[in-house]
């Protein structure tokens, strides 16, 4: 948690890894990484406000039993990446 607060590169990597997990179909890991990001940065209230959802709904969406819609998950990734000034794009190797 302390590293997330103090290391912007690490925060960005959490978002990138959450995105990668989502893209390979591992929604549980993607949700867990975003949950870790929001908890460590203590930004859940700000992000919920930006997404126009209440905090409780956002927490449920990212919880172990949460099942966010594609629209909600992509909106969350967009807001988090914007906060960290990241541009997410798909690259193939």
Instruction: For residue range 29-85, list pLDDT tens digits in order.
Output: 999 999 999 998 899 999 999 999 999 999 999 998 998 888 888 899 889 888 888
Asked if the structure places residue 34 within a domain, the reply is: yes
- Give CA–CA dist 9/26, Å, rounded: 23
Asked if the structure places residue 88 within a domain, the reply is: no
- 71: tokens are 């629209």
Asked if the structure places residue 93 within a domain, the reply is: no
Asked if the structure places residue 41 within a domain, the reply is: yes
Global confidence as pTM: 0.83
Structural domain of residue 52, as residue ranges? 2-83
Asked if the structure places residue 46 within a domain, the reply is: yes
Asked if the structure places residue 18 within a domain, the reply is: yes
- Give CA–CA dist 90/27, Å, rounded: 17
Structural domain count, the chain: 1
Asked if the structure places residue 63 within a domain, the reply is: yes
Asked if the structure places residue 53 within a domain, the reply is: yes
């Amino acid at each position: 948690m302390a590293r997330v607060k103090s290391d912007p590169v690490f925060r960005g990597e959490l978002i990138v890894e959450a995105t990668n997990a989502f893209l390979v179909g591992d929604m549980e890991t993607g949700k867990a990484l975003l949950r870790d990001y929001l908890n460590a940065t203590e930004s859940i209230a700000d992000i919920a406000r930006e997404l126009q959802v209440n905090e409780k709904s956002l927490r449920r969406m990212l919880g172990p039993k949460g099942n966010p819609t594609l629209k909600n998950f992509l909106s969350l990734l967009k807001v988090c990446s914007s906060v960290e000034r990241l541009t997410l794009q798909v690259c193939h190797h």
